[in-house]
Chains A and B, each alone.
Chain A
Amino acid sequence: MGLLRRSKSGTIVDDEPEVEVGQVTPLGELQARQRVRIVGEVARMKTRPGHGIPALTVTLQDTTGKALVVWTGRRAIGGITLGRRLLVEGVAFNRGGTLEFVNPVYTLLPRSASS
């Protein structure tokens, strides 16, 4: 785990931002119904407001393609913001041509790290 500390300027600095990303599937090669690990950047975020069940829908993209990730029952997740890179592990299903993960395991990645 990385250590968080507050720098002199008051911003929070991550001392040890290295996360073991391991082998990931490029989004362009993603296939439905297989357990995969993907890394992508948050390109779009959408919440379903008001009536019905809240859900946070995030579009992840890399240079090869994009995928949707949905977390049900919540409108926001701390740390998931536009531009943030995420490591997601789960099984995607095909919703009208777009691959979608529902409530997958996720890890926040530092923006600067290379994939």
Chain B
Amino acid sequence: MKVLIAGAGSVGKHMAQQLVQSGHEVTIVDNDPNVVGDKDERSPVNGVTWYLGDACEVTFLDKVGIHEVDVVAAATGDDEDNLVVSLLSKQEFAVPRVVARVNNPKNEWMFTEMWGVDVSVSTPHLLTALVEEAVNVGSLVRLLSLEGGRARLDEVTLAESSPAIGKEIRDAGFPRESAVVAIVRAGHVVVPRLDTVLQSGDEVLVLVSGEGDEADQVVRQALVG
């Protein structure tokens, strides 16, 4: 896939590196000549096309071939810039998938379809979720919101007191709007089937859809009690 990353900070560079390793075609743009100029020394990112310029300019985006990319990642350290890049990508170039980085959680509400954002990633939010996930056994943690909040990825590490233990997934009482997408058991991923029996200590990942969080409450009821 072709990916365009706006912002060659540590986040942007890291993304570029990982994406190139997984075989994607990556273009990275930044308006800081020092960052772009240093590419050989500081960054080990090979196979990445670099451009120096302002990603908030339509003409520049056009020049770097945005009309061919599959994904745009707005990964600068500036929320305003990320929003402008997202909006231009969607509105002017109809990029199928726009991912934007939220720097200040206070701005998160703006990172929606309104500004052309398909998926927003908020580092502080993610950190909170991961910390919660690390310290909490037997409670429901929201790892990720997708589709502007209409779908959520929830995680529960099953405590010994969980009502789901010893039950098969089909009998555990999951609502229709949910799907168990993976179970991490003793460090291994178990592909969930209807007859998979849940055990204490299982990390259960559930994808839940729908407005509001009624379905999440039902999932919580089923897995936490």
Q: Which residues of A contact B (CB under 8 A)?
A: 32-33, 53, 55, 72-73, 90-94, 102-103
Contacts and interface: CB of A to CB of B under 8 A. Distances in A.
B114 A53 contact: yes
7 contacts: A33-B67, A53-B112, A90-B92, A91-B92, A93-B94, A93-B95, A94-B94
Contacts of B177: none
B46 to A, nearest CB: 29
A-B interface, 9 closest residue pairs, ranked by CB to CB distance from nearest: A93-B94, A53-B114, A91-B94, A33-B94, A102-B91, A103-B91, A72-B114, A33-B67, A92-B94
Interface string B78-114: 0000000000001111111000000000000000111
B113 A93 contact: no
B116 interface: yes
Nearest to A70: B113
Nearest to B112: A53
A32 B114 CA distance: 20
A98 to B, nearest CB: 13
A90 to B, nearest CB: 8
Interface of B: 67, 90-96, 112-114, 116
A103 B89 CA distance: 12
Most buried by B among A33, A55, A94: A33
B91 A32 contact: no
Contacts of A55: 114
Given A93-B90, A93-B96, A94-B94, 17 more contacts: A32-B94, A33-B67, A33-B93, A33-B94, A53-B112, A72-B114, A73-B114, A90-B92, A91-B67, A91-B91, A91-B93, A91-B94, A93-B94, A93-B95, A94-B96, A102-B94, A102-B116
Nearest to B67: A33
A32 B95 CA distance: 10
Contacts of A92: 94
Contacts of A32: 94
Contact of A53 (B91, B93, B113): B113
A72 B95 CA distance: 17
Contacts of A33: 67, 93-94
A73 B116 CA distance: 12
A91 B93 CA distance: 6
B116 to A, nearest CB: 7
B34 to A, nearest CB: 33
B55 to A, nearest CB: 17
A92 to B, nearest CB: 6
